[in-house]
Amino acid sequence: MSQPALETLAADAYIYGYPMVHDLSMVDTIRTRGMGPMAAAEFNTFGHARELAHADTDFVSVNNDTVYSVAQLDLSGGPLLLHVPDTGGAYHVLQFVDAWTNNFAYLGRRATGTAEQTWLIAPPGWHGTPPEGVRVVVAPTTVASVVGRNACSGVEDLPRVRELQSGLTLTPLEPGGVYAGLPQPDPGVPEELRFFERLRRWMAAFPPAAPDAEYQRRFAPLGLLDEGRSPYLAAAPEWTATLVKGIEAGKARIEAASRPPDGVATGEWTANLHLFDYNLDFFGPGTLDDPQWRIPDRRAAYLTRAVAARVGLWGNHAYEAAYAGVYHDADGVPLSGAHAYTLRFDTPPPVEAFWSVTMYDVPNYFLVANPIDRYSIGDRTPGLVRGADGSLTLVLQHERPTDPDEAANWLPTPEGAFRPMIRMYQPGPAVLDGSYRLPPIEPR
């Protein structure tokens, strides 16, 4: 294969494999070190954040509306029983994500209600019999994640959430299982090829759906299908240089695809309602197996999947929670903490649960430290001041407003570039069909 063709193939492989490598790297990080306020937790155990996410939570586009409970599953030793407590009608969701970042099941207020429930989580290909009355979720890969979110209105609501967290448990269906865990890359592989080494090991351990497996056979010239000893140990310098160029080209394509699409006015919110529709094969409880929520072109879905992992790892399908972001003000000028803005809602977003606006820096999409520890603002924020006509005007700027009403409605921005995100939980039909239009951010 010629060098240009090999470089192109390496770029394709990077885009194809980026979601898995990013996801499983995060799985390993959370399992061993935790995430922000959430302590580390071994496989098949829930780790709970005991507070809302804040500026020290280094996770892309993390939300500040809910308190996380996350479990990394290793189903190689057999099925697990999941107990879900009664939330008394309060919003919660348990999102199931496989090693390829497919959202393959949802349990919670929208999908299965808020009553107490017990489920069996089974590995791929399991043919056993669940306990009587227990429903089953089948995971596509033996390592997967359960991302739990309990709505939390603030510090005063944390005791209620913590009690719910204590009732969220995982237990083996049968004790004594032998667990394979997460294969580790060969430590001798040079840093510039570690991505491909991780992808090689993890593709073999966690096979995708049959059509994807067929597609990834084309990556054999890259060493990604090699078994046993890593092909990246003492690799030829010319081959290494070509693979590295391909990796950089793949990164550039993902970054370019992460920007707002052409033809969208720069001051408009972009609500990509189909960013997480790349799952084409695994539809468990709570998912919608409908053409409306599937990307018809499988190869196009690979790039969409990579973008989703880059800008919003472990995000939900829009029918569970819809997200919209914006980078420019109403005049088309990039948003910056050097300026002050307002965001006026004449009509609030139509949702069945709740909505919020969260502030992130650019380019990391992390929460931004600020003097009042306010990272999001929305319909549950106490003390908001509304206009006589019922409208709500939020103030987005770096410095605290001097006017008391404006200070009550203040969402602090960083000093530099920023990207706010609106989240709409259990969005109504007007959000999903695009008839509801979010207002632009106006410069002051």
* pLDDT tens-place string over residues 3-24: 989 999 999 999 999 999 999 9
Taking CA atoms, 109 is separated from 7, 112, 153, 333, in Å, by 46, 6, 17, 39
**H or E stretch at 77:** none
**Lowest-confidence segment of 34-38, 246-250, 254-258, 360-364 by average pLDDT:** 34-38
Mean pLDDT computed over every residue of the chain: 95
Q: CA–CA separation, 153 vs 379, rounded Å?
A: 10
Does the structure show a pLDDT above 90 at 316? Answer: yes
Q: Which residue is associated with the tokens 């007007």?
A: 430
Phi, psi of 420, deg, nearest 5:
-80, 155
Q: Are 75 and 62 in contact (CB under 8 A)?
A: no
pLDDT of residue 272: 87
Per-residue pLDDT averaged across 344-372, rounded?
95
Q: List the one residue out of 253, 232, 277, 199 whose CA is nearest residue 12.
A: 253
* pLDDT-based confidence at residue 410 (cuts at 50, 70, 90): very high
Q: CA–CA separation, 370 vs 415, rounded Å?
A: 10
Phi, psi of 73, deg, nearest 5:
-95, 135
Task: Output Rg (C-alpha) for the chain, integer angstroms.
Answer: 22
pLDDT of residue 262: 67
Q: CA–CA separation, 381 vs 343, rounded Å?
A: 15
SS3 66: strand
Per-residue pLDDT averaged across 180-190, rounded?
95
Does the structure show a pLDDT above 80 at 413? Answer: yes
Dump pLDDT digits (tens) for 267-282: 899 888 999 999 999 9
The vertex-356 CA angle with 295 and 28, nearest 5°, equals 60
Q: CA–CA separation, 326 vs 416, rounded Å?
A: 15
Whole-number percent of the chain with pLDDT over 90: 88
pLDDT of residue 305: 98
Strand partners, 136: 120
Question: Do β-strands 103-108 and 341-345 pair in parallel, antiparallel, or remain unpaired?
Answer: unpaired
Does the structure show a pLDDT above 70 at 187? Answer: yes
Q: Are 319 and 293 in contact (CB under 8 A)?
A: yes
Q: CA–CA separation, 31 vs 43, rounded Å?
A: 7
Q: CA–CA separation, 367 vs 354, rounded Å?
A: 20
Q: List the one residue out of 325, 314, 218, 328 whose CA is nearest residue 265.
A: 328
Q: List the one residue out of 421, 417, 420, 441 whose CA is nearest residue 336.
A: 417
DSSP annotation of 228 reads: S
Neighbour-count burial of 382, counting CB atoms closer than 10 A to its CB (0-12 exposed, 13-18 middle, 19+ buried): exposed
Neighbour-count burial of 299, counting CB atoms closer than 10 A to its CB (0-12 exposed, 13-18 middle, 19+ buried): exposed
Per-residue pLDDT averaged across 200-229, rounded?
97
Dump pLDDT digits (tens) for 157-180: 999 999 999 999 999 999 889 999
**H or E stretch at 36:** none
Q: Which residues of 209-235 are buried (b: 16+ CB within 10 A; e: fewer)?
A: beebeebbeebeebbbeeeeebbbeeb
Per-residue pLDDT averaged across 60-86, rounded?
94
Does the structure show a pLDDT above 70 at 261? Answer: no
Q: CA–CA separation, 93 vs 425, rounded Å?
A: 10
Tokens of 348: 């609030």
pLDDT of residue 73: 98
* 3-state SS, one letter per residue, for 286-312: CCCCCHHHCCCCHHHHHHHHHHHHHHH
